[in-house]
Amino acid sequence: MKALVYKGPRDVVINNVPDAKIEKPTDVLVKITTSNICGSDLHMYEGRTSVEAGKILGHENLGIVIEAGSAVERVKVGDRVCLPFNISCGFCENCERGQTAFCLIANPGNAGAAYGYAEMGPYSGGQAEYLRVPYADFNCLVLPPDAEEKENDYVMLSDIFPTGYHATELAGVKPGDSVVIYGAGPVGLMAAHSALIKGAAKVMVVDMHEDRLALAEKIGAIPINKVDESCVDEVLKLTNGRGADCGCECVGYQCHDHPGHEVPNLTMNNLVKSVKATGGIGVVGVFMPEDPGASDELAKQGKLAFDFGTFFTKGQRMGTGQANVKAYNRKLMHLIQQGKANPSFIVSHELPLDKAAEGYASFDAREEGWTKVVLKTGA
Ligand code: NAD
Ligand code: ZN
């Protein structure tokens, strides 16, 4: 089958690889129709992880079940399914409590498993023609009849819509709240969409890319095009000097050769300063235990210094981590079905799988207008 394979930093190619196949009776095999490129793929693409050459990337996957293992009962051949990026068993202590991003079985000894990702288990990704889906009865979200028509909406249920929603849950966003979101990438825009769906009164989005901020404005958020400390004054001005009720970090480590991305802890410092005393903070931007490509020594060891004193003095709360996609994807699917959520507004480019390498290069370079790339297999 054809698949997008990681070869080295900023080097991904379409190769012919052995077909994905059922390996356990609880697996299904999915023919991929859409697989997105994610900001999380850029951590690998930019060479800042230990991902091995030859890994098939792609964790935002949607497709059609073409074969089911002998122990699969709920999912049927022909079902159109969206796959949470987290691979989870459904029966360990963490999965039992809905913490499927931290499954203790799918990636023993490590926190959580995912398709096509560094240090998240031996699983191949879905930027390919076929994908093996483990624990299929638990992991497959079977989509409604309008699945084909709204494929670019439903595919966002694999990761970034639930992740943006998770950021607002960690931050404790309630109706009427003011919310500041750092990052107008796909995840930040999904956090803004989620906060507005929840009934936030005022949503402010901070970034340095006009094209992405324009999308934030289009859905009813207030864009702030300042990423140095002056964005804090802007948020204070917009919240009568008290700071936002809640804040979300949707940036994470950025490649330090992108302009303005040199200081990895800037967003955390700005967050604690721009959120009110006792306010809630949700951090879904990825910070890794090691970041060999980082520009300073502490960041290389994954040690992130931020203004903890302000965080303590203001009595703020903070939640972090990968999103438990399964905790939200069914409810968010219903919102899409009812026309109350339309996460596909971020899609800027639909490319055939063959053009994936170009998609990576342009998305990574933050070329104007490249907000979210969806790869169409078979196109
Ligand atoms: P992205 O890299 O396209 O978006 C990040 C945005 O942040 C960019 O638009 C960039 O211009 C902006 N930015 C950079 N420095 C900034 C600063 N100092 N202040 C404000 N904005 C700044 O990627 P994305 O797909 O939106 O992903 C964002 C982060 O979320 C990544 O770290 C990704 O790994 C992470 N992520 C986490 C989860 C999870 O489950 N927790 C899931 C998916 C993605
Ligand atoms: Zn992703």
Share of the chain above pLDDT 90, in %: 85
Count of the separate structural domains present in the chain? 2
Rounded Cα distance, 232 and 180, in Å: 10
Does residue 312 sit in the same domain as residue 190? Answer: yes
Does residue 306 sit in the same domain as residue 354? Answer: no
Q: Does 164 contact ligand 1 (Cβ within 6 A)?
A: no
Q: Among 292, 320, 348, identify where a domain stops.
A: 320
Does residue 175 sit in the same domain as residue 235? Answer: yes
Tokens describing residue 287? 């910070």
What was the pLDDT predicted at 262?
Answer: 56
What was the pLDDT predicted at 287?
Answer: 83
Does residue 66 sit in the same domain as residue 15? Answer: yes
Rounded Cα distance, 129 and 131, in Å: 7
Sequence length of the chain is 379
* Ligand 2 centroid to residue 285 C-alpha, Å: 11
Our measurement of the distance from residue 29's CA atom to the centroid of its chain's CA atoms, rounded to an integer in Å, reads 23
Query: Best of 51, 165, 187 to mutate for ligand 1, by most ligand atoms within 8 A of CB?
Result: 187
Does residue 169 sit in the same domain as residue 265? Answer: yes
Does residue 370 sit in the same domain as residue 249? Answer: no
Q: Mean of the pLDDT values across residues 118-143?
A: 97
Does residue 11 sit in the same domain as residue 102? Answer: yes
Q: Is the pLDDT of residue 111 over 90?
A: no
Which CATH number goes with the domain that contains 204?
Answer: 3.40.50.720
The complex scores an ipTM of 0.99
Q: Among 320, 342, 360, identify where a domain stops.
A: 320
* Res. 110 pLDDT band, cuts 50 70 90: confident
Does residue 33 sit in the same domain as residue 175? Answer: no
Does residue 99 sit in the same domain as residue 215? Answer: no
Residue tagged 């076929």 (tokens)? 130
Q: Mean of the pLDDT values across residues 104-130?
A: 93
Q: Is the pLDDT of residue 11 over 60?
A: yes
pLDDT in tens, 303-337: 777 899 999 999 999 999 999 999 999 999 999 99
Q: Degrees (nearest 5) of the Cα angle 323, 328, 330?
A: 140
* Res. 263 pLDDT band, cuts 50 70 90: low
For the chain, give percent helix, strand, coil, nearest 5. 30, 25, 45
pLDDT in tens, 49-63: 889 999 999 999 999
Domain that holds residue 55: 2-159+324-376
Does residue 94 sit in the same domain as residue 228? Answer: no
Which CATH number goes with the domain that contains 29?
Answer: 3.90.180.10
Q: Which residue from 347, 371, 351 is spatially nearest to 359, judged by alpha carbons? A: 351
Among protein residues, the one whose CA lies closest to atom 19 of ligand 1 = 227
Q: Does 252 contact ligand 1 (Cβ within 6 A)?
A: yes
